[in-house]
Structure 1
């Protein structure tokens, strides 16, 4: 089976490694991890994107996502961050009570890297980063 997908009139293989954090990099994601994972999965599917690896840690989100070339990565990230923020603030109202949040849950920026032939190495990094961080903290 080819690693390429088909989309008329193109064949494509567009994978991205994404990382983004909550505002002030507060460690609040552990409490909302399940909801966040479900939202990210659902919203990604709506854009016909496929999540290969998703790792929600206490203070940041790591993921590898495959996206069709007709959807820009900035559009995907903007949609994911915007819609998850709305959902999180609606479901976890105690987060909105903090005066420093305002109406923004995530920082403005994000990190994105394209993935080519080194997919396996990046996949292992995303999957096992939490374990590495815990060892480092000890």
Structure 2
């Protein structure tokens, strides 16, 4: 039996596979930034009542499986996470002293798809994408 979450008047299980890239697809998520970025993304997701259930940071892109309550739009949650994380990265790694708006660490846009019944396939893909050449296709 699935473990559904509850809001006041609804039961839900909304999970999304979300991918985004750094500006100009530069290989910027490595070393200390990679360790710090995981904490940032989890904290920002919690602030929006979301849970990152699976995630993987590649040098040039981010993959997450995120559970988002139906009262929030996916675009708002992803925009919040990308925007706030860019500001935090700029403060910690690029020597910014103030909370500047318009920090450009992430490229505009993202990819998102609902997970549905293929949750285990998506989890395996996110976890093993560096070691496997499989594609996100349930037919293969």
TM-score (norm 2): 0.85
Following superposition, the deviation at residue 132 of structure 1 comes to 2.9
Unaligned runs of 5+ in 1: 97-101, 134-138
CA RMSD of aligned residues (A): 1.6
2:89: which partner in 1? 88
Unaligned runs of 5+ in 2: 97-101, 134-140
Higher helix share: 1
Q: Does 1:111 align with 2:111?
A: yes
Give the Cα–Cα distance (whole angstroms) in 1 for the partners of residues 118 and 59 of structure 2. 26
Following superposition, the deviation at residue 48 of structure 1 comes to 1.0
- The 4+ residue runs of structure 1 with deviation greater than 3 A are none
Q: Aligned with 2:30: secondary structure?
A: coil
2:99: which partner in 1? none
1:120: which partner in 2? 120
Aligned length: 127
Give the Cα–Cα distance (whole angstroms) in 2 for the partners of residues 66 and 105 of structure 1. 24
Give the Cα–Cα distance (whole angstroms) in 2 for the partners of residues 103 and 86 of structure 1. 6
2:71: which partner in 1? 70
